[in-house]
A and B are shown apart, each in its own frame.
Chain A
């Protein structure tokens, strides 16, 4: 089955990493032009724009910078999963006929912003917004302690270990070694991860994603129009979005994420299941994020994530290719990673990944996880023969 919508182009900014000489809008534009070239389309073809993470009116800023006047735009902002949620929304918009070519962009200079003393995002400065008085006063205002709280509960309930979490960091680094654009490419061992300093218990520094500068973009159109573009067609077979809370202390069960809702929904729409997936791109803000998402999407039973990733099963040559770009842990992570999950999944399905290509990849699963394990957006993508 299919939604009748295809991803016809993906792209990154001209460079990713540490880019003090680039602005965020510039990264949006570089990625957009790259993705449109990948789709054999032009800026003037774009009539819908989806973006977030840039100031207060991101779609106005980005559309103006690109020189486009979209008939429709969306700025759903649910954390790092947003751009996968934008795929879901683009599918709805294209199917409804309100647009013909949808562009999703992300560009962020999270790393270099620190030196400039800017945040790039809307100020979160009203102390009457709930997390200020219910979490911030207890030292929780960023993802690391929030995800750590969830991981501790999972470890207690299911016996998940630091070694199992480290397996994910090691396997992801091995994929990064095959990606020339990856930020961290030196080999890593489980012992290296366990010997790295605590970031916030139970996470070592090497359990945590990078902070970089980067941009990415995705172009979608109807499957019908896609067939005339002269590029490989990757269809969106199923997609779903859900969120269950904002603050981690309001999460219904700290060991179950909203991917437990979106995974089955996206698979059902696609008429496929976990065993049909050839390559998986799962948001890896932390090693734990991957482990719990594998469970919630149904790749293994609840509580079995630690055993599932053992023995470098997800590394190159293993039987479950996972986060083949090197992920947020080793490739790049400019504050939000969702767009890059899509970029890598589409490249894998188009057979464009060189030494890290998963041979015969026909179905890819993309899962964005945003906020404080708050939101999930899942997309099942398939190459059309």
Chain B
């Protein structure tokens, strides 16, 4: 069964792109910061310097609540990807944030067992810290 320890041990490399650097800098401070489009009056994901809904360049960075629901999940029993080779079974998830956007993540704090996980479960953000100062946003069942 995967637990937080297994995923903390995992070290998938992160290479922030220039247009996403604020997201990763915030994650290192354990904050979830998303781009926000003023004309659309809403957050979007993933980060670009323009809004993919309306094309506006009036984009700013604003924090989100870190709360949402488990839109869907899968359980990976083995993976050849760097950082996951020795992770054991782990739960990959798509989370729907309370603010609307969906993002890929990991679900931690639950057994990697389909009987223990249901879509639409309330979740909240957590962070896996790397030795190099980076942090990876993940999600756990809301407390």
Contact = CB atoms under 8 A, between A and B. Distances in A.
B118 A133 contact: no
Most chain A beta carbons < 10 A, residue from B13, B71, B72, B114: B72
Contact of B76 (A137, A145, A248, A254): A145
Given A149-B94, A200-B75, A201-B74, A137 B119 contact: no
A238 B57 CA distance: 40
A145 B120 CA distance: 19
Interface string B67-80: 00001111111010
B72 A149 contact: yes
A135 B119 contact: no
Interface residues of A, number: 33
A127 interface: yes
Contacts of A201: 74-75, 77, 114
Interface string B9-23: 000111111101000
B126 to A, nearest CB: 13
Interface stretch (A150-158, A257-265, A315-323): A150-158
Contacts of A56: none
Given A145-B76, A152-B72, A254-B72, A139 B103 contact: no
Given A133-B17, A134-B46, A140 B72 contact: no
Interface of B: 12-18, 20, 24, 46, 71-77, 79, 81, 83-84, 87, 90, 92, 94, 102-106, 114, 118-120, 136
Interface of A: 127-128, 130, 132-141, 145, 148-153, 156-157, 197-202, 247-250, 254
Given A133-B20, A138-B92, 11 more contacts: A134-B46, A136-B81, A137-B83, A139-B12, A139-B76, A139-B106, A141-B81, A145-B74, A153-B71, A201-B75, A254-B72
8 contacts: A130-B46, A133-B20, A134-B46, A138-B105, A156-B72, A199-B77, A248-B104, A249-B103
